[in-house]
Chain A
């Protein structure tokens, strides 16, 4: 595949590293030294120039490429690049990186002619939520803008006795959720009402964020819900994380040094508790019992400040710390300092773009158990045989519809519900059946 990449910064470099082996890459940037550094390390073509200029784009040969990735740090420039490319080459797939979640919103409403938008802030927020939302989970994946979660649990002996050894049809499962699979050693069960969960099983659950939390409480009582998260820094990154957490009914305290920004965020997020403080004042940390928070997230703009604040919070007894770091090298520094998780938004963004570049057919795919199972996110065609059928009448063929997204809202279907054309189905299936499922829908 011919791929055109605009922007050779941290995100661009990570993408080049991941894609250069399998694809033919052209990298465009204003900064000659960055291009030189890339072309020395990898076999890529480079063009020096402005990616938002039609003249530069067409003379660099954008018309012949299959995929355009615009990942400079300037949102507007990325969007212009994608739009010019669409005009020159309508069949080219375009991916745009943005830091402003508003563009993501506009794009979702179909107002932006771009095939795929990756928002660093939202991806980072989702990554953090995946890490902390369900402490008992082995792995968490998020679909449909966070409305659907797929969670993998190892069922141990401490799990709630009401779910162990009882046929599933007799268990009061958390609402809006279903058991998508039971993995018992090498055996895989796509569970029906008669199947039982046993200690030692690994189970896969699809459900709403609330249901995922309820499941966590069943599997490992006492760990269930994260209630108290402190976020240092209410800039874009901190606000995006807070918004995602609040949507999942997780209590959030934000600490912001600028009064003006604190006011803006407090107005925007009514349910968050916003403090106007630096977060570096021991008296404040003590008085507000910051150490009692289950998770402390450091999302200030400056890695040095985050580092100091995280260390200070640890000194005060913070249990679990997550840092958003901006320099690639910082990841290691933070981990050395005892920060539990550090996330680099540029890294996360690059990974997301790479994932999409590999397989742009389906909106979002997750792999489980290595590659034994896949979760597909497929939009139903109107000609599908399944349209108009009730879910309980659909023949089970090693696949399970965990949720459908109808008009942007996730619905967790019951047996009597009917599949409609245009529904986005979140499907859990064995990898070997993927093509069957795709054909059927």
Chain B
């Protein structure tokens, strides 16, 4: 027997099944690109006579670090399905860290603690919109604009990563998306997803520009005395991504009613599937777009949620009729689309309105939109799965395919949807419990209901919740432990859980 070949057969197995070096290489490269964005707030800082150094230094440090990692891990890599999970998860942590750097370097008193700055960075890139800053207007213009820009980049990031990267790696909603975009457009998978990402980009930039132009016009024409060019840009950057950071202490409340209605409309737009919107607007197939089941349910849920909230605050005499309609609608839309802008403190509203607001946090917008949370299509499919289960209880032999927009949805996808929702609820419950326990430990005035709302709000990337984390509050009083927990919830919610959970399994890392 040839001993040499036997030796080769029994050779050492690779210790890891994942190409960590290759993954780090991609993360480093992405971080390098992303760090270039710090030049924008640096420009604003110069324009407003502030120091640009925090941004330039942050950009240099993050860029250098990213490039260093990329250089250190250069070489041949095996990048596939497995590595994608690691790349996505780490990239979002790295992005949040980049977001935190300018706050730390500038040493602004409201954001000088690393945990707080990291929270702000994660809340920014994940388009959550919850903040540890108590007085936003006291921040320098550069830092304030950096918060808005993070959210805008995070919004497009959802789309580019979710549509361009994640689907190719078969994570999450690829099959769902395929069902939303049937027809002759489907060429090969790669070109289609790249095309989609490009179209979505164009639409995203166009909608942002449009909103900025209208807001600016409102300001210049005197429709809204409060609306300066700075505020117009700041809010245009965080409305389409359904993100929710504001450059005003009282969020949108101080702006004119017309501005509030306008932002409401754009929040609704931000919650629509961008590929579908592209078809409806650019391709001029509005009928096909309107017939989309998910869009119909999305609009229906928005309507139902709004009606309940409006009716409740109107009949309970919280506000007079005209105002109740505007405030109720705005709050419901802002919550369901996971934006998190507010125009009223709903902490004192009647119980049903409060419960509805927490409920709406679990809805979200359409798949392929900028919203967080569970997303309407998953609710839609879950409803269909449940209806089928009930039917099959009586008729066990029935073969009932689940359809979405007439096309049959694969069983695998249905299983993925059910497991996602279970995981989502599980993480939400654990998060709420831990927050409540930690609040009790540190003596934080957080009721169990508040803890539930904060957990839901963080996981769904909404932002404001109830109690001290309410629309006019701040997350500053939370302990470091709770803050880290909330960062984890935002991270999980933003990446739709699975990519991160997968990293916790043994067989992700090892073959046997």
Q: In terms of DSSP, what is the predominant structure of the interface of chain A?
A: mixed
From residue B399, how far is it (CB to closest CB) to chain A in Å? 4
Among the listed stretches B142-150, B333-341, B400-408, which one makes contact with chain A, having 4 or more residues with CB under 8 Å of it? B400-408
The answer to whether A259 and B395 touch across the interface, beta carbons within 8 angstroms, is no
Q: How far is the CA of A41 from the CA of B154 in the complex (A)?
A: 84
The answer to whether B399 and A284 touch across the interface, beta carbons within 8 angstroms, is no
Q: How far is the CA of A91 from the CA of B323 in the complex (A)?
A: 80
Query: Of the candidates A263, A267, A270, A276, which one forms a contact with B397 in the assembled complex, judged by CB atoms under 8 Å apart?
Result: A276
The answer to whether A284 and B397 touch across the interface, beta carbons within 8 angstroms, is yes
CB of B398 within 8 Å of the partner chain: yes
Q: How far is the CA of A256 from the CA of B398 in the complex (A)?
A: 10
The answer to whether B398 and A263 touch across the interface, beta carbons within 8 angstroms, is no
Q: A263 to chain B: which residues have CB within 8 Å?
A: 399, 401
Q: Chain A, interface size: which category?
A: 10 to 19
From residue A298, how far is it (CB to closest CB) to chain B in Å? 18
Q: A284 to chain B: which residues have CB within 8 Å?
A: 397
Most A C-beta atoms less than 10 A away, residue of B397, B400, B403:
B397
Q: How far is the CA of A57 from the CA of B398 in the complex (A)?
A: 50
Q: A276 to chain B: which residues have CB within 8 Å?
A: 397-399
Q: How far is the CA of A266 from the CA of B400 in the complex (A)?
A: 7
Chain A 271-285, CB-CB to B under 8 Å as 1, else 0, gives 001111100000010
The answer to whether A275 and B400 touch across the interface, beta carbons within 8 angstroms, is no
CB of A327 within 8 Å of the partner chain: no
The answer to whether A267 and B401 touch across the interface, beta carbons within 8 angstroms, is yes
Q: How far is the CA of A274 from the CA of B400 in the complex (A)?
A: 7
Q: How far is the CA of A263 from the CA of B397 in the complex (A)?
A: 12
From residue A289, how far is it (CB to closest CB) to chain B in Å? 10
Most A C-beta atoms less than 10 A away, residue of B395, B398, B399, B400:
B399
Query: Of the candidates B399, B401, B403, B408, which one forms a contact with A259 in the assembled complex, judged by CB atoms under 8 Å apart?
Result: B399
Q: How far is the CA of A266 from the CA of B411 in the complex (A)?
A: 14
From residue A303, how far is it (CB to closest CB) to chain B in Å? 24
Q: B395 to chain A: which residues have CB within 8 Å?
A: 273, 275, 288
Q: B397 to chain A: which residues have CB within 8 Å?
A: 275-277, 284, 288
CB of A365 within 8 Å of the partner chain: no
The answer to whether A267 and B408 touch across the interface, beta carbons within 8 angstroms, is yes
Q: How far is the CA of A277 from the CA of B403 in the complex (A)?
A: 22
Chain B 397-441, CB-CB to A under 8 Å as 1, else 0, gives 111110100101000000000000000000000000000000000
From residue A239, how far is it (CB to closest CB) to chain B in Å? 13
Q: B400 to chain A: which residues have CB within 8 Å?
A: 266, 274
From residue B469, how far is it (CB to closest CB) to chain A in Å? 46
The answer to whether A274 and B408 touch across the interface, beta carbons within 8 angstroms, is no
From residue A156, how far is it (CB to closest CB) to chain B in Å? 39
Q: B406 to chain A: which residues have CB within 8 Å?
A: 270
Q: How far is the CA of A437 from the CA of B470 in the complex (A)?
A: 82
CB of A262 within 8 Å of the partner chain: yes
The answer to whether A273 and B398 touch across the interface, beta carbons within 8 angstroms, is yes
Q: A262 to chain B: which residues have CB within 8 Å?
A: 399
From residue A383, how far is it (CB to closest CB) to chain B in Å? 39
Residue of A nearest to B391 (CB): A273
The answer to whether B403 and A266 touch across the interface, beta carbons within 8 angstroms, is no
Q: B399 to chain A: which residues have CB within 8 Å?
A: 256, 259, 262-263, 266, 274-276
The answer to whether A275 and B408 touch across the interface, beta carbons within 8 angstroms, is no
Q: A273 to chain B: which residues have CB within 8 Å?
A: 395, 398
Interface residues of A in 61-107 (CB under 8 A from B): none
Q: B398 to chain A: which residues have CB within 8 Å?
A: 273-276
From residue A52, how far is it (CB to closest CB) to chain B in Å? 33
Q: How far is the CA of A284 from the CA of B397 in the complex (A)?
A: 9
Chain B 468-500, CB-CB to A under 8 Å as 1, else 0, gives 000000000000000000000000000000000
Q: How far is the CA of A273 from the CA of B398 in the complex (A)?
A: 7
Interface residues of A in 239-268 (CB under 8 A from B): 256, 259, 262-263, 266-267
16 contacts between A and B (CB under 8 A): A256-B399, A262-B399, A263-B401, A266-B399, A266-B400, A267-B401, A270-B403, A273-B395, A273-B398, A274-B398, A274-B400, A275-B398, A276-B398, A277-B397, A284-B397, A288-B395
A-B contacts besides A263-B401, A275-B399, A276-B399, 20 pairs, CB < 8 Å:
A256-B399, A259-B399, A262-B399, A263-B399, A266-B399, A266-B401, A267-B401, A267-B408, A270-B403, A270-B406, A273-B395, A274-B398, A274-B399, A274-B400, A275-B395, A275-B397, A276-B398, A277-B397, A284-B397, A288-B397
| Residues of B near any A CB (own CB < 8 A) | 395, 397-401, 403, 406, 408
Pick the 7 closest A-B CB pairs, nearest first: A275-B397, A277-B397, A262-B399, A266-B399, A274-B399, A267-B408, A267-B401
